Amino acid sequence: MRNFHPHPFTENEARRIAHYAGHDLYFVASACDETVGYGMLRGWDAGFDTPSIGIYIRKEKRGAGIGKLFMSHMHAAAAERGSRAIRIKVHPHNRQAHKMYERMGYEFRDTLEPDGQLLGILQLPPYQ
């Protein structure tokens, strides 16, 4: 998980998230009783109107469209909560993910963030 490190991936952190009761959202993607992805929309607990999205799809499951479907689900969840946009960060060397995000409509700044990542913004349509 070289490119995805939103929090420690430990048993204690998994337990904390499983029992979490706040405004941020955490998701698991599964297929045939197998976990294939993990995602989150965070920032609401910190008082932001625009959440940041994070996603991880197991390496052997990439390229099958799971990431796009999973992100579309999270986009709908953010729109339902009244968000008008979503932020995403991606490492410049993670070209496959960067291209997928651009195809989904994320617009990226030309300059790197202080952490060396690119920042993209997706404008969401109003939820109906």
Residue 81 within a domain? yes
Return the CATH number at 19: 3.40.630.30
Residue 5 within a domain? no
Residue 4 within a domain? no
CA distance linking residue 124 with residue 122, whole number of Å: 6
pLDDT for the residue numbered 44: 96
Tell me the three state secondary structure of residue 71. helix
Residue 6 within a domain? no
Domains: count for the chain? 1
Residue 3 within a domain? no
Domain that residue 46 falls in: 11-123
CA distance linking residue 36 with residue 94, whole number of Å: 19
pTM of the predicted protein model: 0.86
**Hey, how many other C-beta atoms are within 10 angstroms of the C-beta on 67?**
23
Residue-wise pLDDT for 70-123, tens only, equals 999 999 999 999 999 999 999 999 998 999 999 999 999 989 999 899 999 999
